[in-house]
Amino acid sequence: MERKRRLVNRSEQKRRMRLAVDLCSLYGITILFLHIVITLCTANAQDSFPGYYIVSMVNSVIATLMPALLLCYMGNGFSYYVTSRFKKTRPLDSFLLVVFGFTGCLTINMISSFIDDFLPKTDHTIYITIDNSFGSFLLVLVSTALFPAVCEEIGYRGYIYSSMSGYGHLTAVLFSSAIFGLMHSDFGAVIFAFLCGVLFGCIRKTSGIFMITVVVHFLNNAFSSFSSFIRLSIGSEAFSLFFSISNNIAYILMIVTFLILRHRKVRIFRFSKAPGPLTKKDKLTTVFFSPVFLLFVFVAVLFKFL
């Protein structure tokens, strides 16, 4: 009788996990579809400097945020997905996690740049002439740093992470990072976004504070925007020196903050065994045998060659 009850419980858990995987994958497919539609409908507007970045903000809100909010509303409500049910870190630890996350992103950028040399090339680069005025910088900062950080984190570390966290934090981190990575436009960006997604997910798990991942994501994007204007101001040769120095500082800071956090018993990459009857094999087969997830992967890869 007890064995039968366990089998029924396991079957029910697999069914629930399959539903969560399908809904999260459907969210990814929806984003890709809306992104294509918005891009095609606003092709003329994107030829100008302000038009391109205004369209970027529209994309973040309509294609990323709105589907996530709809799924949150259909599920357990918005607060359920962005409010942690686990212990929150102390203020100093939260600050150290922000520093570790930001410097970790810069380090990941160095790693992914090296890996990118061995990946298939897809040219999605759009060159928009900008100047180094404060107004231009503010528009770029808002459209490419603030809007994506808020909208994407609600979708990936909010809805997807929380939907999967009941099957283990490691499962939630890896699955949300896979969806997040595959949403990016070329294979080099996929690697970078996936690794950053793992970092964001670990910070979400460790801190218990959703907004910390938003801050780290914003700082990473803001540094990229800031770098573009630095290049305009000081030239490519001086910028290479600036980039090299900033990367070395980031690498040192990442190691130092990691050691301090470890000394304070804040374990970023420690994952306890998930409660419930599902095994690792159950979780892997549930994800990789989901037709909706496989369709999402196919569409995401195809999108990179369009």
Overall number of domains in the chain = 1
- pLDDT value of residue 122: 66
- pLDDT value of residue 147: 96
- pLDDT value of residue 289: 92
pTM for the complete prediction?
Answer: 0.92
- pLDDT value of residue 175: 97
Residues of the chain with pLDDT under 50: 2, 4
- pLDDT value of residue 39: 86
Q: How many CB atoms lie within 10 A of CB 33?
A: 14
- pLDDT value of residue 228: 79
Q: Which domain holds residue 224?
A: 2-303
Looking at this protein, which amino acid is placed at residue 165? S
